[in-house]
């Protein structure tokens, strides 16, 4: 009985000691709640300083101080990543912009080269042969106007210079303005080139050379009939030459007729551009047939005396829109 009372008393004491925290190691919360006093003593003057510290705030402060370099490093890393991303994006934008500029520059270079080609071509072809130019000048005005076409529409200079006076705030605007100007100039040069080509076509279609080598024996206009002596109107000119001598096309054209035709005898009719045509009569033979294309200076027939003729010669006529014209006005060069 005595031993049982002792055991019960011991258990009660153990339980009380446990509740009061006097048994075993202190808990973590109680450890953090403890305060520590730091004593600093100066041996020279005996001054003593005491500092009381709580463990929890001290550990928190140390943790914050220790984490500051880490946080600063992470911040710098994130900032560097952001800046690198921005630089990559800017580099990509610059590459796209540079590619756009290269494309625009290439287009402008091609346009400039095209314009240079047009200018060189016009420079080489603008000046007509002086004899051809004189023959063209003697053509009726209606024929020249038909060949030259309508008036050239010129862009006022102010409209070109005003492009740069308006808002140009970027290289794209500058490239666009230059491109518009070059396209306008190219359009005008192409129009001028077409005009030059028409002039060349008119020069090639103008009967400007003598149709054969020989002496002039009959003039255009009024004369006496060689058979009856009566006054008559001579529709062309007569060039005396030996039989079989070549007859030349006086301009580029197409053979419209090559056949025996009444008083003309063997007759060739060439149709040229712009309403011009020529006739070659009294031939002894043909060197072309209907539908052939001929160039100025090509041999088309031979001198003869067929039809109503007094001897070997060539009867030559020029017609403008079906109306007879004095051939001597256009004959500026010798036969080839």
User: Domain ends where: 140, 175, 205?
Assistant: 205
Instruction: Kindly report the average pLDDT of the chain as a whole number.
Output: 79
Domain containing 190 equals: 126-205
Give yes or no: residues 242 and 321 share one domain: yes
Q: Could you read off the pLDDT of 134-144 as tens digits, one per residue? A: 888 888 888 88
Is 2 or 211 the better-scoring residue by pLDDT?
211
Closest by alpha carbon to 182, among 114, 87, 102, 272? 114
Give yes or no: residues 79 and 142 share one domain: no
**Which of 23-27, 109-113, 218-222: highest mean pLDDT?**
218-222
Q: Which residues contact 200 (CB under 8 A, 6 or more apart)?
A: 125, 128
pLDDT score recorded for residue 198: 86
pLDDT score recorded for residue 123: 64
Q: Could you read off the pLDDT of 13-55 as tens digits, one per residue? A: 555 655 655 544 455 556 556 667 777 777 777 787 777 767 6
Give yes or no: residues 184 and 241 share one domain: no
CA distance 255 to 289: 7
Where would I find the H helices in the chain? 2-19, 28-33, 55-125, 130-137, 141-148, 157-165, 171-205
Give yes or no: residues 251 and 290 share one domain: yes
DSSP assigned state of 156: P
Give yes or no: residues 220 and 323 share one domain: yes
User: Domain ends where: 205, 231, 247?
Assistant: 205
27 falls within a domain: yes
CA distance 296 to 136: 15
Give yes or no: residues 97 and 18 share one domain: yes
335 falls within a domain: no
Whole-model pTM?
Answer: 0.59
CA distance 249 to 227: 29
294 falls within a domain: yes
Number of domains in the chain: 3
Give yes or no: residues 195 and 271 share one domain: no
Closest by alpha carbon to 174, among 186, 159, 164? 164
Residue 270 has pLDDT above 90, yes or no: yes
Q: At what angle do helices 171-205 and 55-125 cross, to 10 degrees?
A: 10
CA distance 170 to 97: 12
């Amino acid at each position: 009985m005595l031993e049982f009372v002792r055991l019960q008393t011991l258990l009660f004491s153990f339980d009380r000691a446990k509740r009061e925290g006097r048994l075993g190691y202190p808990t973590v919360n109680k450890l953090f709640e403890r305060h520590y006093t730091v004593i600093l003593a100066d041996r020279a003057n005996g001054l003593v300083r005491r500092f009381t510290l709580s463990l929890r705030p001290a550990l928190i402060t140390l943790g914050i101080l220790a984490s500051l370099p880490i946080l600063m490093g992470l911040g710098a890393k994130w900032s560097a990543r952001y800046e690198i991303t921005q630089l990559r994006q800017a580099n990509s934008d610059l590459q796209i912009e540079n590619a756009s500029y290269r494309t625009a520059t290439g287009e402008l270079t091609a346009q400039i080269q095209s314009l240079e080609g047009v200018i060189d071509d016009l420079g080489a072809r603008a000046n007509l042969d002086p004899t051809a130019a004189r023959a063209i000048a003697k053509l009726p005005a209606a024929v020249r106007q038909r060949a030259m076409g309508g008036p050239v529409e010129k862009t006022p200079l102010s409209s070109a210079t005003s492009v740069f006076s308006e808002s140009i705030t970027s290289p794209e605007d500058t490239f666009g303005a230059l491109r518009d100007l070059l396209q306008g100039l190219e359009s005008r040069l192409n129009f001028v080139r077409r005009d030059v080509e028409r002039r060349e076509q008119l020069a090639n279609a103008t009967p400007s050379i003598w149709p054969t080598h020989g002496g002039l024996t009959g003039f255009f206009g009024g004369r006496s009939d060689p058979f009856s002596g009566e006054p008559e109107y001579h529709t062309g000119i007569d060039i005396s030459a030996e039989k079989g001598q070549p007859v030349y096309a006086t301009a580029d054209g197409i053979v419209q007729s090559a056949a025996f035709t009444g008083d003309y005898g063997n007759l060739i009719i060439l149709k040229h551009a712009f309403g011009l045509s020529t006739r070659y009569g009294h031939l002894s033979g043909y060197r072309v047939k209907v539908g052939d294309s001929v160039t100025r200076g090509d041999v088309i027939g031979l001198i003869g005396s067929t039809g109503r003729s007094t001897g070997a010669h060539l009867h030559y006529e020029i017609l403008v829109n079906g109306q007879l014209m004095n051939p001597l006005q256009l004959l500026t060069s010798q036969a080839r």
